[in-house]
Amino acid sequence: MSTSAPAVNTLETPVMDSSYSTLLQSITEEGGYAFASMATLAAGGDNHAAEAAKEMAWEQLHSGPWHSVGPIWRDAYSMACLHVARNHFSSGEFKLSLKALDMGLIMGGLTLRDDLNSCIKKVSSALTEKDFSSSNNNNNSTDSTEEGQKKSELFGDQEIISRQHFNLPEVLQLLPSRSLSCKKVGRKSGLSLEEFLRDHFLCGSPVIISDCMVHWPAKNKWNDMNYLKRIAGFRTVPVEVGKNYLCPEWKQELITFSEFLERISSNECPSEDTTYLAQHQLFDQILELRQDILIPDYCFTGDGEIRSINAWIGPAGTVTPLHNDPHHNILSQVVGKKYIRLYPASLSEDLYPHMESMLSNSSQVDLDNIDEKAFPKVLDLDFVDCILEEGEMLYIPPKWWHYVRSLSTSFSVSFWWSDTGNSQGS
């Protein structure tokens, strides 16, 4: 087994190194004496201490509601993840190193993000080189037919969804009652910023914009399974498992992006085990995918700021139940199709919001199975709806209630932004 040069086996963490004593002091002031002790040992290469520090920070992150956790504990978690990753990397355990770094990005703070990203770049490069080298060694012991097949698997196109005929009558059987029978969301092509501001942004009117994604690299790349695996296959991502977040059997898991892609491309998964990557800031985590999308110019309307760019990826049948969001939203459909139903904010009381503060933006009404006795008002409410096609964007005004169902394997990106008069935190 060949050995690498010593420099290759080291992960550099310049931000952490320069701010180490300051961070430890801040953590200690928050009661993290045991963490500081373990982190000091971890800095000397003690992997057990690194894992212990990571576990201590993890417990702090889950000690209460996310917003109540002190920011320094998020930085502490990032610090511990860097220690764990560095030790795994020096031992040649690249997948474990990459998982630790991803956890630092997903759950950690912002202070050490540059270190996390630079380390991820180095570990990913080492992992790709190792994987490619292993593949070449295997090819040397196979015949030319098998070699060609392996190359096809590594570098060929493998569509996530095929371009099939869309059977509307069959689709209607899956949708909530009265779907596509009322007023539909209007479609516009070549919508200028002035028209968007005047006709939709200021008055809060949804619209489908049909020609704003033609220059996105994602349009051509994200339906290629091999491209996505090559770019992000080893990365760890958080996913939801279950019908939707309001169901008691719903849970969250951490799996590799490759495993996630295999799940959503399989037709054997029952609905209660549906896996959905939902409302995750994937593009802050996997920077290579961020290069495949562009922020629409419409998102700068109102002199506000981008609050969040989220990924929504899943198989046909994934449902986001009826809810509203506080920000302006452009939902961009990159791969596949979605059905979306919208109710204006003025109908909020008739949509029976949950009373609990954590779910107050979600309706108690299950549009797929309406309890007419419990929620009689909802039956006759007016709404607008649409099928959002691949390559289209939908503008959803703040506080508008919306229900979303994927009609095929679907990759979507949502852009949330606030204007000067709507500057709540994300």
Please indicate, yes or no, whether residues 51 and 95 belong to a single structural domain of this protein: yes
**pLDDT per residue over 241-251, tens digit each?**
987 777 777 78
The pLDDT of 129-156, averaged and rounded, is 54
CA distances from 14 to 83, 112, 415 (A): 13, 9, 32
Please indicate, yes or no, whether residues 176 and 99 belong to a single structural domain of this protein: no
Q: How far apart are CA 202 and CA 200, in angstroms?
A: 6
**pLDDT per residue over 47-64, tens digit each?**
999 999 999 999 999 998
Last residue of a domain, one of 135, 152, 176: 135
Q: How far apart are CA 39 and CA 151, in angstroms?
A: 44
Please indicate, yes or no, whether residues 221 and 317 belong to a single structural domain of this protein: yes
What residue numbers bound the domain in which 202 lies? 168-418
User: Over pLDDT 70: what percentage of the chain?
Assistant: 87
In the predicted structure, residue 142 carries a pLDDT above the cut 80: no
Position 5 confidence tier, pLDDT thresholds 50, 70, 90 = very low
**pLDDT per residue over 88-136, tens digit each?**
999 999 999 999 999 999 999 999 999 999 999 999 999 888 765 665 5
Please indicate, yes or no, whether residues 319 and 206 belong to a single structural domain of this protein: yes
Please indicate, yes or no, whether residues 111 and 225 belong to a single structural domain of this protein: no
Q: Domain of 185: which CATH number? A: 2.60.120.650
Please indicate, yes or no, whether residues 184 and 94 belong to a single structural domain of this protein: no
CA distances from 79 to 55, 123, 362 (A): 12, 17, 36
Q: Is 255 or 244 the better-scoring residue by pLDDT?
A: 255
In a domain, 320, yes or no: yes
Please indicate, yes or no, whether residues 103 and 183 belong to a single structural domain of this protein: no
The pLDDT of 401-407, averaged and rounded, is 96
The pLDDT of 204-222, averaged and rounded, is 95
In the predicted structure, residue 15 carries a pLDDT above the cut 90: yes
In a domain, 366, yes or no: yes
pTM: 0.87
Position 170 confidence tier, pLDDT thresholds 50, 70, 90 = confident
Please indicate, yes or no, whether residues 25 and 120 belong to a single structural domain of this protein: yes
In the predicted structure, residue 270 carries a pLDDT above the cut 60: no
Please indicate, yes or no, whether residues 82 and 231 belong to a single structural domain of this protein: no
CA 166 to chain centroid, in Å, comes to 27
Please indicate, yes or no, whether residues 94 and 207 belong to a single structural domain of this protein: no
In a domain, 152, yes or no: no
Please indicate, yes or no, whether residues 206 and 97 belong to a single structural domain of this protein: no
Count up the domains in the chain and report the number. 2
Position 228 confidence tier, pLDDT thresholds 50, 70, 90 = very high
